[in-house]
Amino acid sequence: MAYAEHLISAADGTALYARDYAADRTGRVPVVCLPGLTRNSRDFETIAPRLAETRRVLAFDFRGRGRSGRADPASYRPDQEVADTLHVLDRLGIGRFAIIGTSRGGIAAMVMAARALPRMAGVLFNDIGPRIETAGLLRIRSYLGADPQFTGWDDAVAALKSSNPGFATLSDAEWQAFARRVYRAADGGVRADYDPALSLNFPSVADIEAGKVPELWGLFDLMADVPSLVLRGEHSDLLSAGIVARMHEHHRRLASVVVRDRGHVPFLDEPESRAAIAQWLAAVDAG
């Protein structure tokens, strides 16, 4: 499906990019797709065209990722990403919306609850919760900040397999498609599609191992009446079954689904993901 493209300047002048699927759709609640830490709007190619058959869908590149501009590394924070997102939505005239938040995008959704809760019609947490498991954080820390340059897509796929465990059943074609959502062609080769300086605002190994990573239960509690869904990859090292159980204790309108044969994060096009998303959007539209 075709999409419009927006490039809007943030308050500090940073260019913010968003894909806009079905901008002429009205009636149903629009969906705003927020990507993971090193991901971008292409991550939602698996789901945005299908959702756009019935509603407007926007997929964002946070600053420092994809086609958005690179900025002062000190601004690579969830609160700034929330400010940027709301700025773009205001410029596009979008008032109330539902969020699909993949990993970092789900953290941004929790931060947004403190600032714009009345505008949030629903939240989908894609393999993320108020507490993040140490093993997953250490895995991300192990590659974040590198600036890999690959000679071709096969080398990029090999690197992706190494840094993304839990996807053993993917076909070669699925790995290739995955790589093209994460990396970009550049300088005759393939490179990561994010600013390596993202690592400067990510917890250190010492802080992760010491348990000095903030938990966001207070923000999550603000959303207890917002129709919500959490998808957990069966082999996820970021979101445990125990954390999902605790999320249910805090949230009156939360559904949860385990996505088979997936690590961190599910692609959103799996049969169980599609069925759960359809039910979640029905609740969102019902209000």
261 in any annotated domain: yes
Determine the average pLDDT of the residues in 18-23.
92
147 in any annotated domain: no
C-alpha closest to that of 229 among 47, 11, 20, 38: 47
For 242-277, what is each residue's pLDDT tens digit?
A: 999 999 999 999 999 999 999 999 999 999 999 999
pLDDT at 176: 98
212 in any annotated domain: no
What is the tally of structural domains in the chain?
A: 1
pLDDT at 23: 79
52 in any annotated domain: yes
167 in any annotated domain: no
pLDDT at 189: 96
188 in any annotated domain: no
155 in any annotated domain: no
What domain range includes position 99? 4-138+217-286
145 in any annotated domain: no
Own/partner contacts of 148-156, CB < 8 Å, gap of 24 or more, are 148/191, 148/192, 149/187, 149/189, 149/190, 149/191, 150/183, 150/189, 150/190, 150/191, 151/189, 151/190, 152/189, 152/190, 153/179, 153/180, 153/183, 153/190, 155/190, 156/182, 156/183, 156/190
- Kindly provide the b/e burial profile for residues 245-261, where b requires at least 16 CB atoms within 10 angstroms of the residue's own CB: ebbeeebeebbbbebee
pLDDT at 69 over 80: yes
CATH code of the domain in which 42 resides: 3.40.50.1820
